[in-house]
Amino acid sequence: MTIPSRVFSGVQPTGNLHLGNYLGAIQRFVALQDEHDCLYCVVDLHAITVWQEPAELRHNIREVTAAFLAAGIDPKKHIVFNQSQVAGHSELAWIFNCVARMGWLNRMTQFKEKAGKNRENASVGLFAYPNLMAADILLYRATHVPVGEDQKQHLELSRDIAQKFNNDFAASIAENGFGEMFFPLPEPLIAGPATRVMSLRDGKAKMSKSDPSDLSRINLTDDADTIAQKIRKARTDPDPLPAVSDGLEGRPEAANLAGIYAALAGTDVPGVLAEFGGSQFSDFKKALTDLAVEKLAPINAEMRRYLADPAEIDRILADGADRASVLAEETMGAVKDIIGLIRH
């Protein structure tokens, strides 16, 4: 039995949605929708692995949804929903808790970074987070997952879980008519010049929602003046931009700004350097500001328009959840049969 190609990805509603989330993920979600069936999910159950203020969480779920829609995701052709409205995510995550091995999760670098020194006080959910992510993807038997570079290790774990499930239950999978494998091994789609957008204050640190400095990131809610100010203050070195990519070696801030420009312009870093090689940063930053404002201002305006009507956002999420649930129930039924659980 062949498994049809399907795209799944998610974004956490943890506030401060930034340019890295947009270029590494959301912009690519939009590009994939012409060629694939896509499910784009606001992963609220992931968000609560660390404390979230209830009213803020509700707002942030709507804000990520608004960003999806404002960026150009079509909720009629594709499925846009929030994770907690489809019970299958939690249900399959539990099953994967019983498939994944402690040793696998112990190797996850993101848990180590996020738990910090006080690991004993981290939630069990934060530790098991990659199993829930595997469930998100495999609940829809998705084959392709567009993500930023930081999610590569989690994607590899999703593949390991799919593979182990397929191996452990090989006989039952065949008996139930699914051939040699039930779950596809999902492929990460990590490509383009902005798979890892760095902080504007430190070219060696990832641009991140949780960075205490707001100057480190461009938020999707920033207005034109704020974008201009943040780019003007972005850290750089004293040399002009090089003409070829080799010249970016050891210059992380220059490489970051060139990558951001390339991703916003829909070109690549060599193309940007061909145009701006030899320019001083003061000039390049002006061009980058104009481009960032040109690309982000319409998204910002559309987000505001959607957020002014939360009932409409909730309606879109409910419709998406209903359609996702149909697919999820089909998978969960098959998974229960394969495992040997009785269902009616």
Which residues of the chain form contacts with ligand AQP (CB under 6 A)?
A: 11-12, 14, 20-21, 24-25, 147-148, 150-151, 195-197, 206-210
By beta-carbon proximity to ligand AQP, the closer residue of 92 and 194 is 194
Q: Print the SS3 string covering 280-334.
A: CHHHHHHHHHHHHHHHHHHHHHHHHHHHCCHHHHHHHHHHHHHHHHHHHHHHHHH
CB closer to ligand AQP, 12 vs 236: 12
When the beta carbons of 222 and 332 are compared against ligand AQP, the nearer one is: 222
Strand partners, 145: 188
The least distance separating ligand AQP from the CB of residue 192, rounded to whole angstroms, comes to 10
Separation between Cα atoms, residue 73 and residue 25, nearest integer Å? 12
d(CA 64, CA 71): 10
Residue corresponding to tokens 């896509």: 38
Measured from each CB, the residue nearest to ligand AQP is 24
Name the minimum Å distance from CB 45 to ligand AQP: 12
> Among residues 49, 145, 161, 142, which one has the least CA distance to residue 97?
161
Nearer to ligand AQP (CB atom), residue 24 or residue 130:
24
Q: Please, what is the minimum distance in Å from the beta carbon of residue 118 to ligand AQP?
A: 17
In what order do the strands lie in the sheet containing 6-11?
A: 79-82, 37-42, 6-11, 144-146, 187-189
Q: With respect to ligand AQP, which residue has the nearer C-beta, 227 or 335?
A: 227
- C-alpha to C-alpha distance for 130 and 137, rounded to whole angstroms: 11
Q: Do residues 19 and 30 touch, judged by C-beta distance below 8 A?
A: no
What is the sign of the dihedral through the CA atoms of 117, 124, 155 and 23? negative
Active-site residues, by number, are 114, 206, 209
CA–CA dist 234, 265 (Å, integer): 19
Q: How far is the CB of 197 from ligand AQP (least distance, A)?
A: 4
Among candidate residues 74, 83, 78, 71, the one with its CA nearest the CA of residue 11: 83
> What minimum distance in Å lies between the beta carbon of 340 and ligand AQP?
34
